[in-house]
Chains A and B, each alone.
Chain A
Amino acid sequence: MKTKSAEDLYIQKDRMRYVKNSACSNLCYLAILFDVFYFVLLYRQDVETYYYTIQIGASIVYNLIFLLAVFLSSEGVKHYGKNYSLILLVAGAMQVVRIFVIPMRAHNAVIGEATVMSGFTFTKCFIYLAVSAACLIFSAVLNVIRCNQLEAHIKSLGEKA
């Protein structure tokens, strides 16, 4: 594997002054995509009236907030906004928490002889939310690292000047 020279590393940092942080914003879009997979799968489930509670209403409202917050944050991190990492971290953590709110409880619930959420569906919900969370957390961490690098680089340029 080709090792990067000091000059390459310097240019890589310098590029950040002009090139958008697309990797982090793309990770956000990926997180949104997996969240969509999750709620499409969840809302298709219909066993008796198990899902028709205030809980599902809250879930829908949360999804809207999630989509809005993550989309706005994706634009923020694209332009190296360090504070948006915090929103992404919280959103990522919330995706993990969500696994245990509806899917886990539905998986353990039984109506008559039927399980509300099958093991296969639960696994898929788990994967979607986990991947979404991972994307958000990774995006947040990567953004912080890049922002710090960029800040240090700009500072060093200022000192040189």
Chain B
Amino acid sequence: MATLSLQHIDKIYDNNVQAVFDFNLDVKDGELIVLVGPSGCGKSTTLRMVAGLEDISNGKLLLDGKDITQTPAKDRDMAMVFQSYALYGHMTIYENMAFSLTLRKEDPNVIHKKVLAAAEVLGLTSQLNKKPAQLSGGQRQRVAMGRSIVRNPKVFLFDEPLSNLDAKLRGATRREILLLHKRLQATMLYVTHDQTEALTLADRIVCMSMGHVQQVGTPLELYDSPDNVFVASFIGLPPMNFYDVKVSGNELVGNGFKAALTPEEKKILAAYEGKEITLGVRPENFTEGNDIKVTVTNNENLGMNTLVYGNVGNTGVKVTAKLKGWKNYKNGDTAGFSIVRKHFFDKETTKAIRGDK
């Protein structure tokens, strides 16, 4: 397999629209990197630049230390799996999987061995004589992956491969991709806008917005220590609650509520005494308590958890809380919450406040 290094990469289109700004990333051998972000953030463009389907305007792309910035896509030894499968409808699954090797005029017996091995890994052996139209979406996506596997590329590129699948199939195929990665120990770049995919698949996540990298880190780092408001709001479902609060002694004073600070939190916010900051609270970091009084507007039972939506008193400041167990709040009820874990962000720069860290 291979290491991949993206150094100061920009993408500027002919009409001077810049899609990617100064992208830097070192992908280790056998690592699964997930590029995540909302639509139009530049993640697919970045992947296409790595694949060689888009020109790199500035910067360098290194594969195993070798500069491949100007190398044509066909010589990069990378395989890409698309959202739309891109299978040939008139060919059987076997022929689809063998196609790239046939074009390279490989020995038919070698092709046969590789196709059968890939089909075995993906559980497609019994489907090899079928046409793509006879398979389900998940199976078709597996065929697309199989077509990549037979090539034994240095890097696998996935461009939102699960977006066309229904929720149940997406979960199953996601687990298959994870197993495949463990089995092949391959270097993979995976693009998705689905944060659940990112959190469950990635060794490291690259969170992007408006063409800029917002944070690179492990899924836990992004969830637990987001670098800025964007990452905090993008990672986590339901998204984090944000409140404008003022640091005042031992407490934070918000619109209609006060939250006590622990000594550690007070230390972190020492430089912000008397100033306004943004307080972030994940829905799962609320528990039933007495710190904030919330007027309930909606109660959604999810089985293990209950999502409670409401406003702080009568202020219109919205609260989404994810409480453990089955709750039965009615619209208009007053619920009392306490905050278990707080995230602090600078109101002007939107960056996380982490004290001396």
Contact = CB atoms under 8 A, between A and B. Distances in A.
B181 interface: no
A14 interface: yes
B109 A18 contact: no
Contact of B94 (A8, A11, A12, A19): A19
Interface string A79-101: 00000000000000000000000
B113 A18 contact: no
B92 A15 contact: no
Interface in B66-106: 92, 94-95
Q: Is the interface of A mostly helix, strand, loop or mixed?
A: helix
A18 B94 CA distance: 6
B128 A8 contact: no
Interface string A14-25: 110111000000
B109 A12 contact: yes
A18 B129 contact: yes
B112 interface: yes
B128 A11 contact: no
Nearest to B110: A11
Nearest to B116: A14
Contacts of B316: none
Given A18-B92, A18-B94, A19-B94, A11 B129 contact: no
Contacts of B112: 11, 14-15, 18
Given A18-B128, A18-B129, A11 B92 contact: no
Interface in A1-15: 8, 11-12, 14-15
B92 A8 contact: no
B171 interface: no
A8 B113 CA distance: 10
B106 to A, nearest CB: 13
Contacts of B108: 15, 19
Interface centre among B109, B115, B116, B129 (most CB of A within 10 A): B109
B326 to A, nearest CB: 50
Interface in A122-141: none
Nearest to B109: A11
Contacts of B95: 18-19
Interface string B113-143: 1011000000000001100000000000000
A19 B113 CA distance: 13
Interface string A35-54: 00000000000000000000
B87 to A, nearest CB: 16
A8 B129 CA distance: 21
Nearest to B111: A15
A15 B109 contact: yes
A14 B112 CA distance: 8
Nearest to A15: B112
Contacts of A15: 108-109, 112
Interface in B8-45: none
Contacts of A19: 94-95, 108
Nearest to A11: B109
B105 to A, nearest CB: 16
A14 B113 CA distance: 10
Nearest to A9: B109
A94 to B, nearest CB: 33
B100 to A, nearest CB: 16
Contacts of A18: 92, 94-95, 112, 115, 128-129
Contacts of A17: 128-129
Interface of A: 8, 11-12, 14-15, 17-19
12 contacts: A11-B109, A12-B109, A15-B109, A15-B112, A17-B128, A17-B129, A18-B92, A18-B94, A18-B115, A18-B128, A19-B95, A19-B108
Given A11-B109, A15-B109, A17-B128, 14 more contacts: A8-B109, A12-B109, A14-B112, A14-B116, A15-B108, A15-B112, A17-B129, A18-B92, A18-B94, A18-B95, A18-B112, A18-B115, A18-B128, A19-B95
